[in-house]
Amino acid sequence: MTIFDFLSLFSSADPNFLKKVTAEEEYRYRGGEDCRRADAAKILHRYLKECRNCPDQTDLSSLSHIKDLYDCRICANDIAQVLIYQVMDPVLIPTGETTILTIFDHETKITREEADEAISRVRKI
């Protein structure tokens, strides 16, 4: 799934959002690239702010267990907001019988199923 494919999933919900975002230089330049989880978080966070008027949450203490949250300083807030609003889920990796590593997994390509679920969740907010 490319970034344009991910963005096109918004077309029925808010065509103005799709038009506005795809007109921007970043997406004209990168739109054909694979959509990573970090890219999806950035787009979903923007949708929360612009279309749902959701304010950024400032108390991120509930995310302290997400080990890679701040690996990308540019997208950290986007990721934090989609996790706080429960639009996307963290990835749980078993590391032993009773221990689990919780990460966001920035670079993994988003699947169609995950994209559909995230967009369904963001539309309910």
* Alpha-carbon distances of 43 from 13, 16, 108, rounded to whole Å: 14, 14, 16
| Chain segment 90-112, per-residue pLDDT in tens | 999 998 878 888 999 999 999 99
Per-residue confidence (pLDDT) for residue 31, from 0 to 100: 83
- For 92, residues 6+ apart whose C-beta sits below 8 A from its C-beta are 100, 101, 102
pLDDT value at position 104?
96
Domain count, the chain: 1
pLDDT score for 13: 66
Query: What integer pLDDT is reported at residue 57 of this predicted model?
Result: 97
- Please tell me the predicted confidence (pLDDT) of residue 98: 83
- Mean model confidence pLDDT for the chain: 91
Structural domain span for residue 97: 3-123
How far apart CA 1 and CA 12 sit, in angstroms, is 18
Taking the alpha carbons at both ends of the chain, their separation in whole angstroms is 24
Using the 8-state DSSP alphabet, how is residue 54 labeled?
P
Q: Count CB neighbours of 92 within 10 A.
A: 10
Kindly give the parts of the chain with pLDDT less than 50: none
pTM of the model: 0.91
